């Protein structure tokens, strides 16, 4: 049975848990021999979209470029895990429409929880004015209206979030069912 590719797009505020869930899902997929790649927003910004800033136009272009790469991989049967804040709903919808095989995962945690988890000190810098146009503080985050999966990382364990994503992929037919002999 040929593996269907899919882009699993994890969106949410900085510190919500996107990278943590993405890495756990990647590990589980690899354990089950699925072809998988991660496109992490921070790593993509360092390598593929380095020249882009944080204006709305640049953020949208960043998401388009991530979506372009995700689409190429998805078409070739890869499960692509995208972990990117992607704050604007319209560009997420544009990328979703272009890719087609797309599962949106809203990694949802209240702003206060994200600020408490802020290991990089970004929220503190944003609150002091050191970082301008920071998502959730001085720039908007538009949550998905109808995500296929929602992980409430302030209310559930990592294992529960991973199980929700896995179930979402199974229900949509993106994970091979075991063949009984």
Q: What is the pLDDT of residue 47?
A: 79
Q: What is the pLDDT of residue 179?
A: 42
Q: What is the pLDDT of residue 147?
A: 96
Residue 173 has pLDDT above 70, yes or no: yes
pTM over 0.75: yes
Round to whole Å and give the CA distance between 116 and 15.
8
Round to whole Å and give the CA distance between 101 and 105.
13
Domains by residue range for the chain, with CATH: 6-171 (3.40.50.300)
Q: What is the pLDDT of residue 180?
A: 42
**DSSP percent split of the chain into helix, strand, coil, nearest 5:** 45, 15, 40
Token pair 């269907």 is at which residue?
Answer: 4
Residue 178 has pLDDT above 70, yes or no: no
CB 104 within 8 A of CB 149: yes
Question: How does pLDDT run across 106-133, given as a tens digit for each residue?
Answer: 999 999 999 999 888 889 888 888 888 8
Question: How does pLDDT run across 24-71, given as a tens digit for each residue?
Answer: 999 999 999 999 999 998 888 787 777 787 778 888 888 999 999 999
Number of Cβ within 10 Å of residue 9's Cβ equals 29
Helices and strands (DSSP H and E) totals, the chain? 7, 5
Phi, psi for 17 (deg, rounded to 5): 120, 15
How confident is the model over 149-175, as a mean pLDDT? 95
Token representation of residue 22: 């993405």
Residues carrying an active site annotation: 86
Question: How does pLDDT run across 81-97, given as a tens digit for each residue?
Answer: 999 999 999 999 999 99
Cα 112 versus chain centre, distance: 20
């Amino acid at each position: 049975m040929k593996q269907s590719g899919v882009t699993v797009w994890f969106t949410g505020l900085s510190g919500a848990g996107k990278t943590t869930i993405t890495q756990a899902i990647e590990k589980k997929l690899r354990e089950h021999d699925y072809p998988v790649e991660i496109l992490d927003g921070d790593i993509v910004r360092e390598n593929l979209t380095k020249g882009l800033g944080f204006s709305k136009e640049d953020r949208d272009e960043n998401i388009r470029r991530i979506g372009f790469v995700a689409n190429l991989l998805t078409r070739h049967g890869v499960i692509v895990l995208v972990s990117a804040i992607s704050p604007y709903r319209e560009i997420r919808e544009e990328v979703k429409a272009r890719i087609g095989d797309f599962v949106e995962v809203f990694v949802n945690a209240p702003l206060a929880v994200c600020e408490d988890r802020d290991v990089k000190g970004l929220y503190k810098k944003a609150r002091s004015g050191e970082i301008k146009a920071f998502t959730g503080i001085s720039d908007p985050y538009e949550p998905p209206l109808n995500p296929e999966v929602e992980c409430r990382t302030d209310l559930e364990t990592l294992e529960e979030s991973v199980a929700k994503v896995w179930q979402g992929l199974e229900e949509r037919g993106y994970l091979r069912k075991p063949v009984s002999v």
